[in-house]
A and B are shown apart, each in its own frame.
Chain A
């Protein structure tokens, strides 16, 4: 998957897990995870959805320490590459 494809898919997954009403198509890589309304509970929802949608296994705490969307995309780029 390209970085752009990952970002598009990630926006979709975030929309499912978040409680916030945001125009998710406008979320840029520079956005912080906190600014998108993820708290401790919705973060667990997000981890579940990422594991399922991207079909990858990872240690949940690796994702929790991430602050920005760009870092999350990089993380997924690394973990989804064959």
Chain B
């Protein structure tokens, strides 16, 4: 039964990809936004989660405002998907009409230029995270960590689509320590999404004033390797306009108190993400259950 369901999903995914491939980026994006509107009407559970999450953070106080942000967030997520699927066309350095701004501190520019300097780059499900990784990978290879899709057929299909730039994805299940360390040792960028729920292996760190299980690996990697941590996010303006902003570095010396060292780094990172979300709440993925 499961196999049949997977095959049906796979057929739909292939059809969807064929349609997206046949359309221009602008048309695919417009189609994505219309589908997001339909999805927002139909998917009551995710709509409710989004609205509740927005209200929890106190960004807005009325359900009406929260619903408006939630709808924009659904549309934004559709755009992120289209950007990802059309990235080779969209982010082509020769592509016409792209307006890409980089706002990098000097230390980050120097680290990008140094072939031996590994970098830990923290981000969240905010703005155009896929585009951000691919744009930065023009200067230095970026390795991101991803979770395999539950459907193995669709998973293989998606893995065949190569992103632009030097951006590679490592499946979460095989993302062992040696791979992380090797990436940094090779002077590459290791990207982490810091707003994923860490279940029982995380540390409870305040996010918008509410404790959220947060992965600790990013902080530990910094403490044991000394590779600097930067926080980055990419705000989308018009359809082809991206503004990439990086802040940092966050640098800490190990004090001997592992828990406190990790906590202090994760608190800083959550604060940076929070502040970036407050400036752009419509471009955050509110539908995921960050607080459980």
Contacts and interface: CB of A to CB of B under 8 A. Distances in A.
Dominant secondary structure at the B interface: helix
A44 B224 CA distance: 8
Interface in A18-73: 40-41, 43-45, 47-49, 51-52, 59-61, 64-65
B223 A61 contact: no
B169 interface: no
A59 B226 CA distance: 10
A61 B254 contact: no
A43 B224 CA distance: 11
A51 B253 CA distance: 12
A64 B181 contact: yes
A65 B176 CA distance: 11
Interface in B213-236: 216-217, 220-221, 223-225
Interface residues of A, number: 15
B178 A48 contact: no
23 contacts: A40-B175, A40-B176, A40-B217, A41-B177, A41-B201, A41-B216, A41-B220, A44-B177, A44-B220, A44-B224, A48-B220, A48-B223, A48-B224, A48-B254, A48-B261, A49-B258, A51-B254, A52-B254, A52-B256, A60-B177, A61-B182, A64-B177, A64-B178
Contacts of A45: 220, 258
Given A40-B176, A51-B254, A52-B256, A61 B185 contact: yes
Interface residues of B, number: 20
B224 A65 contact: no
B200 to A, nearest CB: 10
A47 to B, nearest CB: 5
A45 B261 CA distance: 12
B220 A40 contact: no
B25 to A, nearest CB: 38
A10 B177 CA distance: 20
Given A49-B258, A61-B185, A44 B221 contact: yes
B47 to A, nearest CB: 34
Contacts of A61: 178, 181-182, 185
Contacts of B185: 59, 61
Given A60-B181, A61-B182, A64-B178, A44 B217 contact: yes
Given A43-B177, A48-B258, A52-B258, 14 more contacts: A40-B176, A40-B217, A41-B201, A44-B177, A44-B216, A44-B221, A45-B258, A47-B220, A59-B185, A60-B181, A61-B178, A61-B181, A64-B177, A64-B178
Q: Which 9 pairs, one residue from A and one from B, show the smallest C-beta to C-beta distance?
A: A44-B220, A61-B181, A40-B177, A40-B176, A60-B224, A47-B224, A52-B256, A64-B178, A43-B177
Q: Which of A49, A51, A60, A61 has its CB near the most chain B CB atoms (within 10 A)?
A: A60
Contacts of A52: 254, 256, 258
B220 to A, nearest CB: 4
Contacts of A44: 177, 216-217, 220-221, 224
